[in-house]
Amino acid sequence: MKRRDFCKASVIVGTAAALPAKELLAVAYGSIAEIVSDVPAITVSGTETVLEKAALTEFAESLRGVVLVPGHNGYDAARRVWNGMIDKRPAVIARCTGSADISRAVNFARERQLLVAVRGGGHSIPGKSTCDGGLVIDLSPINGVRVDPVARAARVGPGTLGGGMDREAQYYGLATTLGTVSHTGVAGLTLGGGFGWLSRRFGLACDNLISVDIVTADGTLRRVSAEENPDLFWALHGGGGNFGVVSSFEYRLHPVGPQVLAGRLVFPLSEARRIIEFYGEFAATAPRELNVDLGLETPPGGTLGAVIYVCYTGDPAIGEKLMAPLRKLGKPIEDTIGMTEYVKVQTQFDGLPRLPLSVYFKSGFITGFPAGLVDALADGFKPDAAFSSYFMHSGGAVADKSETDTAFAHRDTLANMMMIGVWPNHENTPENIATVRANWDMVKEHTSGFYVNLNEADDRTTHGNYGANYQRLVAIKKQYDPGNLFRLNANIEPAS
Ligand SMILES: Cc1cc2nc3c(=O)[nH]c(=O)nc-3n(C[C@H](O)[C@H](O)[C@H](O)COP(=O)(O)OP(=O)(O)OC[C@H]3O[C@@H](n4cnc5c(N)ncnc54)[C@H](O)[C@@H]3O)c2cc1C
């Protein structure tokens, strides 16, 4: 290190040691009092408003975390979300550090009828966790995980990514259902349902909730569990971000791994029909310890083909026997199935480049592979580097609950079918979206309902998607968010 650089580093370290956290953040981001003037903003009804410098300064000073407005250092980094196609400019980003900050942010927004977006891991594919001109309640600083290995439970902050929680839980040989990409946030994933390699064995991520702390639209912090506020607890099992801002999740954990039987078989696309038909049968009869996904895609670091992914978390000797039909499927281009660390299974798709990708999804639940669907997939759909299809296995413990036991209604399905477009820049975006929609048009008649965490949803489709649960959700929404402050989600409008 050159002397000049050493000195610079020493000054920063010295400053860090001398300043309390809030001042340190001001050094990094800039002081709100120095930088801001009035900031133009947008209300929930879409009208223009102005956030006055004095009000913003007071708000910033009332938080332990940092408030960022356009012009601040860090504003551009903080406004970014996972889907590179989404490029929004919030009026204010409140980087909250706990329930008190969240409550103040909710009050600030409600009192001004400011448009609000809530951000956990920032992975909403349609970009619901940011907005133009509104307030983003950014929970990413609240990312602590505390595992109680005796109670087999974990207390998890809403800014935690799946990988962070897996890491802490696996330290004790424990895990719960989380998504299959470790940089996805636990918050949005859990509140909308939460599928993963463990969902057939232990239920959806939301099924493993013991309790949550939530700040509702009136700014009140509430503890919610099967015993306290049970209606709200029911609604948070699939009702998404409609009811408030969760400041803490408590999950049930289960012994898993650390080694599990997992991997993938890749077959040439020319054999797609045979593989799809096999998958339909195999997935329908699999035991709950076995999760099998299908991709018509290019797997990470692999070759375009028909890909069967497995993860078996039971007794490995039984697992090997269950693999026998797969081994008889013919000669794959690739076979990686073997004993693997669970955390590696959970990070196998992480290589997906992160930014600035553009991503567009359509998805829906299927109960099987009728001939028309197999024909559409095998003959009509042409996967390539940009366009793929993926089937996430459901059933098992997911189906142990009835349609009305939780807000998440789609219990009795075989898989979640996705049509995906991923392209590396923002060029040709309208054409690529049109291609995903055309691919979807070939298969959508075979679906029934969709997963709120993946699709763009409008109010009309959201209504039908919650089935028999919708009216109960509307009543709960009216009780906890009568003004529909939390509307950037698969929105449930409060009853009129
Ligand atoms: C790469 C990738 C892989 C994925 N894999 C899976 C998978 O394997 N299984 C699966 O089930 N889904 C998967 N998904 C979908 C995923 O469930 C959603 O994108 C989910 O919204 C991500 O959560 P997040 O906290 O990162 O989202 P964010 O974008 O931060 O939030 C999404 C929405 O959730 C709500 N929300 C977030 N935090 C809170 C909170 N604390 N309180 C109240 N509401 C909140 C808000 O309405 C917000 O708009 C994947 C998505 C991506 C991009």
**Whole-number pLDDT of residue 2:** 37
**Whole-number pLDDT of residue 356:** 59
Q: Is 129 in the pocket of ligand 1 (CB under 6 A)?
A: yes
Does 244 share its domain with 108? no
Does 173 share its domain with 219? yes
Of 100, 116, 138, the residue at which a domain comes to its end is 138
Give domain status of residue 464, yes or no. Answer: no
User: SS3 string of 290-327?
Assistant: EEEEEEEECCCCCCCEEEEEEEECCCHHHHHHHCHHHH
Does 186 share its domain with 328? no
Which CATH number is 113's domain given?
3.30.43.10
Q: Is 245 in the pocket of ligand 1 (CB under 6 A)?
A: yes
Ligand 1 atom 16: residue of nearest CA? 189
Please report the atom of ligand 1 found closest to the CA of residue 489.
Answer: 47
In this prediction, residues 177-200 reach a mean pLDDT of 97
120 CA → ligand 1 middle, Å: 7
pLDDT in tens, 431-484: 999 999 999 999 999 999 999 999 776 656 778 899 999 999 999 999 999 999
Structure tokens at 135: 């307030």
**Whole-number pLDDT of residue 496:** 54
Does 270 share its domain with 406? yes
Does 134 share its domain with 223? no
Ligand 1 atom 46: residue of nearest CA? 241
Q: Is 119 in the pocket of ligand 1 (CB under 6 A)?
A: yes
**Whole-number pLDDT of residue 33:** 64
pLDDT in tens, 390-400: 999 999 999 99
Whether residue 244 has pLDDT greater than 90: yes
pLDDT in tens, 11-66: 333 333 444 556 666 666 666 666 678 999 999 999 999 999 999 999 999 999 99
Does 217 share its domain with 153? yes
Does 406 share its domain with 263? yes
Give domain status of residue 225, yes or no. Answer: yes
Q: What percent of the chain has pLDDT over 90?
A: 84
pLDDT in tens, 95-130: 999 999 999 999 999 999 999 999 999 999 999 999
Element (H, E) at 371: helix 371-375
480 CA → ligand 1 middle, Å: 21
Q: Is 157 in the pocket of ligand 1 (CB under 6 A)?
A: no
Q: How far apart are CA 171 and CA 158, in angstroms?
A: 20
Domain span including residue 220: 145-255
Does 358 share its domain with 297? yes
Does 128 share its domain with 149? no
Structure tokens at 194: 């939460």
Of 90, 116, 138, the residue at which a domain comes to its end is 138
Does 184 share its domain with 243? yes
Question: Which segment of 360-364, 371-375, 482-486 scores lowest on mean pLDDT?
Answer: 360-364
Whether residue 81 has pLDDT greater than 70: yes
Of 207, 231, 255, the residue at which a domain comes to its end is 255
Query: Regarding predicted confidence, which is higher, 376 or 4?
Result: 376
What is the domain count for the chain? 3
pLDDT in tens, 377-390: 999 999 999 999 99
**Whole-number pLDDT of residue 28:** 65
Does 399 share its domain with 276? yes
Give burial (CB, 10 Å; 0-12/13-18/19+) of 320.
middle
Give domain status of residue 175, yes or no. Answer: yes
- CB-based contacts of 107, cutoff 8 Å, min separation 6: 219
Contact between residue 310 and residue 326 where contact means Cβ atoms under 8 Å apart: yes
489 CA → ligand 1 middle, Å: 10
Does 239 share its domain with 267? no
Give domain status of residue 494, yes or no. Answer: no
Q: What percent of the chain has pLDDT over 70?
A: 91
Q: How far apart are CA 206 and CA 187, in angstroms?
A: 10
Give domain status of residue 465, yes or no. Answer: no
